[in-house]
Amino acid sequence: MEIMGRVRFVLILDDVWENFSLIDVGIPKPTLQNGCKVVITSRSTDVCNFLGCEIVKVQPLSPGESLNLFLNRVGHDVLQVAGLEEMLKLMVEECAGLPLAIVVVVGCMRGEKDIIEWRNSINELRQCVKSVKVKEDMIFRQLKFSYDRLGSLEIQKCFLSCSLFREDYEFSKELIEGWIDEGLIDEPGRRQEAYDRGHAFLNRLEKNCLLEKIIDSRGYLFGFVFKIHDVVRDMAIKSIGPRFGYKVKTGMNLKRVSNECEWVKDLKKVSLMANGISKIPVGLSPQCPSLSTLILSDNNLAEISSSFFEDMVGLNVLDLSGTSIEALPDSISNLVNLSALQLRKCKRLKYLPSLAKLRALKKLDLYGAGIELVPLGMEMLVKS
CB atoms within 10 A of CB 250: 21
The β-bridge relationship of strands 10-13 and 363-365 is: unpaired
Sequence-ordered list of residues with C-beta below 8 angstroms from that of 57, at least 6 positions apart, any chain: none
* pLDDT at 329 exceeding the cut of 80: yes
3-state secondary structure of 60: coil
d(CA 97, CA 13) in angstroms, rounded, equals 25
pLDDT band at 133 (very low <50, low <70, confident <90, very high): very low
Instruction: Out of 92-101, 321-330, 354-363, pick the least confident.
Output: 92-101
What pLDDT, on the 0 to 100 scale, is given for residue 27? 81
CA angle 333, 255, 295 (to 5 degrees): 40
Mean pLDDT of 73-94: 88
- Sheet of 293-295, strand order: 246-248, 269-271, 293-295, 317-319, 340-342, 363-365
What pLDDT, on the 0 to 100 scale, is given for residue 51? 83
129 Rama sector, left if φ>0, alpha if ψ -120 to 50, beta otherwise: alpha
Provide the residue type at 278 as one letter.
Answer: S
Q: What is the DSSP string of 269-294?
A: EEE--SS---EE-TT-----TT--EE
Mean pLDDT of 155-164: 96
What pLDDT, on the 0 to 100 scale, is given for residue 380? 64
* pLDDT at 129 exceeding the cut of 60: no
* pLDDT at 58 exceeding the cut of 90: no
CB 209 within 8 A of CB 235: no
What pLDDT, on the 0 to 100 scale, is given for residue 101? 83
What pLDDT, on the 0 to 100 scale, is given for residue 187? 67
d(CA 202, CA 205) in angstroms, rounded, equals 5
What pLDDT, on the 0 to 100 scale, is given for residue 249? 93
Tell me the pLDDT of the chain averaged across its residues: 85
CB 76 within 8 A of CB 69: no
* pLDDT at 134 exceeding the cut of 50: no
What pLDDT, on the 0 to 100 scale, is given for residue 218? 53
How many helices (H) and strands (E) the chain has is answered by 11, 12
What pLDDT, on the 0 to 100 scale, is given for residue 299? 97
What pLDDT, on the 0 to 100 scale, is given for residue 201? 94
Mean pLDDT of 202-219: 78
What pLDDT, on the 0 to 100 scale, is given for residue 376? 82
Provide the residue type at 213 as one letter.
Answer: K
Residue ranges of alpha helices (H) inside 36-184 are 45-50, 63-74, 84-94, 99-109, 115-129, 135-148, 153-162, 174-181
Task: Specify the pTM.
Answer: 0.74
CB atoms within 10 A of CB 132: 15
pLDDT tens readout for residues 307-319: 999 999 999 999 9
CB 210 within 8 A of CB 183: no
* pLDDT at 260 exceeding the cut of 60: no
CB 299 within 8 A of CB 274: yes
d(CA 138, CA 133) in angstroms, rounded, equals 7
What pLDDT, on the 0 to 100 scale, is given for residue 110? 85
pLDDT band at 331 (very low <50, low <70, confident <90, very high): very high
Q: How far is residue 176 from each of residues 191, 293, 296, 371, measured CA to CA in Å?
A: 11, 15, 19, 27
Of residues 256 and 128, more confidently modeled: 256
Sequence-ordered list of residues with C-beta below 8 angstroms from that of 195, at least 6 positions apart, any chain: 176, 177, 180
Of residues 143 and 235, more confidently modeled: 235
What pLDDT, on the 0 to 100 scale, is given for residue 381? 66
* pLDDT at 132 exceeding the cut of 60: no
pLDDT tens readout for residues 212-241: 888 655 555 556 789 998 888 988 998 889
pLDDT tens readout for residues 358-368: 989 989 999 99
Q: What is the dihedral of CA 66, 70, 76, 77, to 10 degrees?
A: -140
* Backbone dihedral angles phi then psi of residue 160, each to the nearest 5 degrees: -60, -35
190, HSE (Cβ side, Cα atoms, 13 Å): 3
What pLDDT, on the 0 to 100 scale, is given for residue 322? 97
Sequence-ordered list of residues with C-beta below 8 angstroms from that of 363, at least 6 positions apart, any chain: 177, 181, 339, 340, 341, 342, 384
Instruction: Out of 7-16, 145-154, 267-276, pick the least confident.
Output: 7-16
d(CA 365, CA 367) in angstroms, rounded, equals 6
* pLDDT at 125 exceeding the cut of 60: yes
92, HSE (Cβ side, Cα atoms, 13 Å): 21
What pLDDT, on the 0 to 100 scale, is given for residue 247? 94
* pLDDT at 50 exceeding the cut of 60: yes
CB 305 within 8 A of CB 277: no
Share of the chain above pLDDT 90, in %: 41
What pLDDT, on the 0 to 100 scale, is given for residue 1? 52
* Backbone dihedral angles phi then psi of residue 267, each to the nearest 5 degrees: -65, 140
CB 90 within 8 A of CB 122: yes
